[in-house]
Amino acid sequence: MKKVQDLLAYSKSFDNAMEIFELTKKFPREEIYSLTDQIRRSSRSVTANISEAYRKRRYPKHFVSKLTDSDGENGETQTWLEYALACGYIEKENFKELNNNCDEIGKLLNYMILNPEKFGSK
């Protein structure tokens, strides 16, 4: 049986969250309890919700619900990335890469939402 870590959406979202973590180490100290905390939480929640969804895959409605939560967190991460760019905390190239990663993760999540049976949901 596959592990959740074998899912492409999981591995890509995990990698994206880790890239965001590394970048946010350079954010100003005054952002620690706002932008830094928010973007780290939302990016990590993408992966965490995929993990929860996978554990609930026997129940299609729960599976899809947790995946839509994950997609929502992915969208939130994109919003925080826009703020980080606008505030000058990240370079345009970093923004493009991370935002593109979020777009790709969103497509993978959408595929899972539309095809739950391919992931063990009945």
pLDDT at 1 > cutoff 60: no
Say if residue 113 is exposed, middle or buried (CB neighbours under 10 Å; 0-12, 13-18, 19+): middle
Backbone angles phi, psi at 11, to 5 degrees: -65, -40
Cα separation, 110 vs 23, in Å, equals 27
| Percent of the chain surpassing pLDDT 90 | 94
Cα separation, 109 vs 15, in Å, equals 15
Kindly report the pTM of this predicted structure.
0.95
Beta carbons of 67 and 113 less than 8 angstroms apart: yes
The highest-level CATH class for domain 4-117 is mainly alpha
Which pLDDT does position 120 carry in this prediction?
A: 84
Task: With H, G, I as helix, E, B as strand and everything else as coil, classify residue 38.
Answer: helix
pLDDT tens column, 46-66: 999 999 999 999 999 999 999
